[in-house]
């Protein structure tokens, strides 16, 4: 028998919301609001809610999907909380071996575990969303944010936010091979958008893509006869990686607005 598709969390929350969202506000549910505001990461927030440790407007709320507003009176173990949040974005230099998932069945670790281990205490209560993905063996720039709208913006196929990669490849790419990449190549899921491509060494290619298909860099280079040996992401938009492997830093508002085009 096939598996029953899991209902998306946003749809589950929408089904449980009884009243329409007032103009000028956003649809929000309790567990996500706590994670966005830096009170507790979502799974911890769900546990606290189900255990009866959270009150909303004077009553215990045990439903993680309960609708809330910024002005709702929320308490955790009797202490008042603010649901007001700001958009936070951090860059992280992903090492090889980590997966961009909540759990790693192979036990090597996830980027979320590694990020939380290096973040200061003040930032560990946030629910961090990865802005796109990198393969387990790919290193480099990975962005995280507490704002799902930024994730949607950066990964939307209509945004065309540029991502710069450097790949070590088999063979010696010729100018003809690079030109094919610039013009776009045909993959099994259709032709790619034109890319910026240049040699960075005898067996090293820089690619700048404005789309984000599954394993796209590896598939494009394989299509022109140069399978990838190692892959590293240097930049997203105009935000360039500038921290050591395993390190992080917070992006400025200007980097988010100008570098990522999110306002």
Active site residues: 135
Nearest to 16 by CA among 6, 28, 25, 5: 28
d(CA 228, CA 107): 25
State CA 29 to chain mean position distance: 20
Quickly list DSSP for 90-138: EEEEEPTT-BSSS--TTSS-BHHHHHHHHS-GGGTTS--EEES---TT-
- Which residues fall within 8 angstroms of residue 43, CB to CB, at 6 or more apart? none
DSSP class of residue 243 equals: S
State CA 177 to chain mean position distance: 31
58 contacts 20 by C-beta, under 8 angstroms: no
The tokens for 197 are: 């491509």
Phi, psi of 240 (to 5 degrees): -105, 145
């Amino acid at each position: 028998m096939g598996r029953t598709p899991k209902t998306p969390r946003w749809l589950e929350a929408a089904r449980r919301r009884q009243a329409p969202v007032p103009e000028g506000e956003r649809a929000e549910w309790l567990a996500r609001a706590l994670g966005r505001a830096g009170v507790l990461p979502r799974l911890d927030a769900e546990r606290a809610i189900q255990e009866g440790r959270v009150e909303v407007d004077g009553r215990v709320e045990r439903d993680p999907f309960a609708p809330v507003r910024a002005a709702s009176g929320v308490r955790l173990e009797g202490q008042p909380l603010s649901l007001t949040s700001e958009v936070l974005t951090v860059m992280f230099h992903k090492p090889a071996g980590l997966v961009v998932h909540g759990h790693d069945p192979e036990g090597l670790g996830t980027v979320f575990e590694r990020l939380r281990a290096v973040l200061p205490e003040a930032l560990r209560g946030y629910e961090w969303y990865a802005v796109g993905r990198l393969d387990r063996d790919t290193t480099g720039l990975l962005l995280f944010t507490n704002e799902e709208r930024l994730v949607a913006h950066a990964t939307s196929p209509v945004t065309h936010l540029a991502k710069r990669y450097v790949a070590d490849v088999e063979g010696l790419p010729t100018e003809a091979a690079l030109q094919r990449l610039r013009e776009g190549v045909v993959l099994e899921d259709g032709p790619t958008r034109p890319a910026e491509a240049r040699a960075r060494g005898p067996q090293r290619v820089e690619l700048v893509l404005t789309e984000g298909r599954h394993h796209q860099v590896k598939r494009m280079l394989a299509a022109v006869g140069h399978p990838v040996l190692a892959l590293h992401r240097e930049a997203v938009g105009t935000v360039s990686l500038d921290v050591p492997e395993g390190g992080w830093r917070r992006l400025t508002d200007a980097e988010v607005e100008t570098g990522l085009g999110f306002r």
